[in-house]
Structure 1
């Protein structure tokens, strides 16, 4: 979220987290007993069923029962298979991107970028990493084959960035401008601007068929449903909780439900995207913020920024199964899962650090100092055929 709103949100989050932290800091690591791990569970081959009528030009999903079927451990596209494995961390207050070697947990480079970088976003064709310089009104391209930054592209208010599933358009989440801006996915030339009435458009995810996407509006506590092809808002609703502040959005593997993290509600909203009906709240922890799916599509890792924990949601059981506590606390925010599925990487938003967490046990493997205000870090490369944006939504 924007620094101009950070103080208010942090104060509210801290008040909510105070009671939880007493138990969270002393809880240690909680282990699971059912072997439902992101990297070790048996991987079934894709089941080829009749393909739904998808967005024109979109590559069909490998398994209509699992939208993440292309994201299995180590299944790298030929485009990225020779890229060095790195973790790219945008530091919103330092105007830099910290580059980490995930094998050694060491910082190997610091790249100066534009003002207030929010997220590092893989392009649809996987060839470029775009740094969203929100207040700098620019996108800085990074070549992931060399790690070198290129000339910034002028784009106004790029808080976050997504790509249509057919690879035709980039979608800029212009949070302060109250706009969804559709741009050419390669040149970033503006194609259409969609003005919205909600405040703080920030995160999104697409339906299984790619024909619509759900957007969170953090400052007005609302959700939007947008027709991808028509580039038009077709639904809008207020979340049923005063003070709601929705954040990250993820679709379930079967495409039937959307999950929306809410850091003021302290949990995840669950709703049917097709009907866009009234959602229900699943409480996870203070400051619920980021959502990441395991490599076997069985689990979702949920970062609770206000209490220094990660909740584990099992899709097959439709329930929470564990909660991991960062030793000494922290502020786990945005991130991603390693290519082999064994490590969850998260930025520590208010602690100038990054966490590497074992997805089998929840053990903290490393805590790495970075710049000030680390936010939407990208683990790259990751498995998948193409990127839908954010810190890496691959299909």
Structure 2
């Protein structure tokens, strides 16, 4: 993979815009899972500028490794599944690409493969990241509900959450083999969700909706270190632009917990006025705004990352999920809603 810019901060490159995104329109793309559409929002005015149809059950809008395309991952297996490419310079969609069960989409750190996380099929499918010709399919029957992931700092190992199995699996990226699993035991029926590596590469944070907090797993994905409560239905994880804080969306109580990454403890909690269902999203390019889908409320929340106050609530479609704020700073994308390095 590209050489890290800093030995102590895997997100060091996430403060500089790549020339590859110079012509990208500053937009937010919101996949509406129950409407089979994507809502487009202008970042500056925070007004909806359009909506377009995509494949059935769109889950996430994912930046490509080379930052030149966004993909809408639509995973309804009975409909075949598809990726809808978006040209970020125009904000318009292209022809759908047939891909089986793409609940989520990631890219290997060397850019050699796209990883389609086929949740219902219990598979990790490796594709050519440009042509989407299948390279290899890796069954993971032990990982019911495989959905989110992140990589170790050296890019050699990946940690995947198993939403319906209360555990994590660890994949050797080069050999594409599962090398171990990690049980999550805070509650008997854990439901792990988003996964995010700490800036220093020493800790994975894993949100668990049923445990109502985050597990801390060592940076080599060997085992659980501790657990930190955050709030009801902890779901999405996002690192602040200065790499000092981790924002945790608590979908069941309409709040965002802020973890101080130096102390690894919750420093404050921001409550969305009137409640809500904050799910997935990302930060604005300058890091001053946190854009989050309201999964059960058909809205997008825009919060200040300074003090957590609600800047705007924007009406979108039904069941908004993994929205992407684009463009993002960084050299390349590892996928999801914009895990940049």
Quick check: TM above 0.5? yes
Q: Tell me by how many angstroms 1:291 deviates.
A: 0.2
Aligned to 1:358: 304
Aligned partner (choices 261, 264, 289) of residue 235 of structure 2: 289
User: Which SS does the other structure have where 1:168 is aligned?
Assistant: coil
Q: Tell me by how many angstroms 1:275 deviates.
A: 5.3
Aligned to 2:7: 64
| Runs of 5+ unmatched residues, structure 2 | none
Is 2:147 the partner of 1:206?
Answer: no
Give 1:35-54 correspondences, 5 Å limit.
Answer: none
Aligned to 2:105: 161
Is 2:162 the partner of 1:217?
Answer: yes
Q: Tell me by how many angstroms 1:279 deviates.
A: 4.1
Instruction: Output one character per residue of 1:361-394: Cα deviation in whole Å (capped at 9) or x when no partner.
Output: 1110000000000000000000000000000000
Instruction: Output one character per residue of 1:203-229: Cα deviation in whole Å (capped at 9) or x when no partner.
Output: 000110000110001011110110111
Aligned to 2:294: 348
User: Which SS does the other structure have where 2:21 is aligned?
Assistant: coil
Q: Tell me by how many angstroms 1:273 deviates.
A: 3.4
Aligned partner (choices 280, 284, 299) of residue 334 of structure 1: 280
Q: Tell me by how many angstroms 1:239 deviates.
A: 1.1
Aligned to 2:253: 307
Q: Give the whole-Å Cα distance in 1 for the aligned partners of 2:191 and 2:92.
A: 35
Give the number of the structure with larger relative contact order, counting CA–CA contacts within 8 Å between residues 6 or more apart: 1
Aligned partner (choices 65, 77, 81) of residue 22 of structure 2: 81
- Greater share of helix residues, 1 or 2? 1
Distance 1:284 1:193, change over 3 A: same
CA contact (8 A) 1:267 1:283 kept: yes
Aligned to 2:138: 194
Q: Give the whole-Å Cα distance in 2 for the aligned partners of 1:369 and 1:275.
A: 39
Q: Tell me by how many angstroms 1:237 deviates.
A: 2.4
Q: Tell me by how many angstroms 1:303 deviates.
A: 0.3
Q: Give the whole-Å Cα distance in 1 for the aligned partners of 2:311 and 2:289.
A: 9
- List structure 1 segments (4+ residues) > 3 angstroms apart after TM superposition: none
CA contact (8 A) 2:170 2:221 kept: no
Aligned partner (choices 380, 383, 391) of residue 326 of structure 2: 380
Aligned to 2:43: 102
Instruction: Output one character per residue of 1:39-68: Cα deviation in whole Å (capped at 9) or x when no partner.
Output: xxxxxxxxxxxxxxxxxxx10110011000
Q: Tell me by how many angstroms 1:347 deviates.
A: 0.1
CA contact (8 A) 2:204 2:221 kept: no
Is 2:128 the partner of 1:128?
Answer: no
Q: Which has the larger radius of gyration?
A: 1
Aligned to 1:46: none
TM-score of the aligned structures, taking structure 1 as reference length:
0.84
Aligned to 1:259: 205
Distance 1:371 1:63, change over 3 A: same
Aligned partner (choices 332, 336, 340) of residue 390 of structure 1: 336
CA contact (8 A) 1:83 1:145 kept: yes
Q: Tell me by how many angstroms 1:318 deviates.
A: 2.1
Q: Give the whole-Å Cα distance in 1 for the aligned partners of 2:19 and 2:201.
A: 27
